[in-house]
Amino acid sequence: MRVFDGVGHEWAGTIDEIGARRVTIAVDRAVEIAREPPMEVTLAVGLLKGDQMDTVVRESTMLGAAAIIPLVSARVVAPARARVEAACARWRRVAIQSSKQCGRAVVPIVRDPAGLEAVLADESYGTRVMLTEPGTDVPAPDGPPPAPQPKARDERPRVLLLIGPEGGWTANEVRMAASLGVRAWRLGPRTIRAETAPTVVLAALWTLWGWQ
């Protein structure tokens, strides 16, 4: 069997002992892990209802997101603190299970919910992209965002990918992001469901930017 630590290391081993609450594994050797994407993508996605966020976390983990930020925006009603804490704990478990299922040795960080302004204030990202939907009265540029380039040889470029909630972004939110240098991107003429959009966008980005 194989075990991993969630931060990029994986080992082959055998079960040595099974107890009521603990399993002991004898580690035999380190194994080569599946390669992570060439860019470190943080997905900031508007909070969704029910188990839709579970789907976003599960699929985004398989598609290589490095971190996931549940986003509170104008069209999102922030839940009570106790509900947020319980939901975040569940999403982190979902990320672990998804990593196990797809053979990924890295578990993405699921952060606590944050407001759009706070996320946009983080200037550590080299590339910031906001997915806009048809009907937003702020024009989006033609063409996908170019592949970001690393500043150092062994560095992965950091990318912030912003995806709105079920009600989409307001025009003011899109304008605010644009004023801070965030690139708007529209996938096409159709409106994609909020829980599906992260999967579509990440798959599109890796097709454009490459992930061997």
Q: What is the pTM of this model?
A: 0.86
Confidence of residue 77 (pLDDT cuts 50, 70, 90): confident
| Cβ atoms within 10 Å of 87's Cβ, excluding its own | 17
Six token digits for residue 10 = 């994986």
Written as one string, the DSSP assignment of 136-168 is: -SSPPPSSPPPPP--SSTTPPPEEEEEE--TT-
| Cβ atoms within 10 Å of 24's Cβ, excluding its own | 10
Residue given tokens 């055998």 in the structure block = 14
Give the CATH superfamily of 34-209: SPOUT methyltransferase, trefoil knot domain (3.40.1280.10)
Confidence of residue 87 (pLDDT cuts 50, 70, 90): very high
Q: Checking phi first, is residue 190 left (phi over 0); if not, alpha (psi -120 to 50) or beta? A: beta
Mean pLDDT of 88-116: 95
Six token digits for residue 60 = 């985004």
Asked which of 23-32, 51-60, 95-104 is least confident by mean pLDDT, the reply is: 23-32
pLDDT computed for residue 61 by the predictor:
97
- Averaged pLDDT of the chain: 86
Q: Checking phi first, is residue 141 left (phi over 0); if not, alpha (psi -120 to 50) or beta? A: beta
Mean pLDDT of 108-124: 95
Six token digits for residue 125 = 């990202």
Residues 28, 15: contact at Cβ < 8 Å?
Answer: no
What residue spans define the domains of the chain? 1-33, 34-209
Confidence of residue 144 (pLDDT cuts 50, 70, 90): confident
Residues 168, 162: contact at Cβ < 8 Å?
Answer: no
pLDDT computed for residue 183 by the predictor:
92
Six token digits for residue 197 = 């959009």
Six token digits for residue 6 = 């969630």
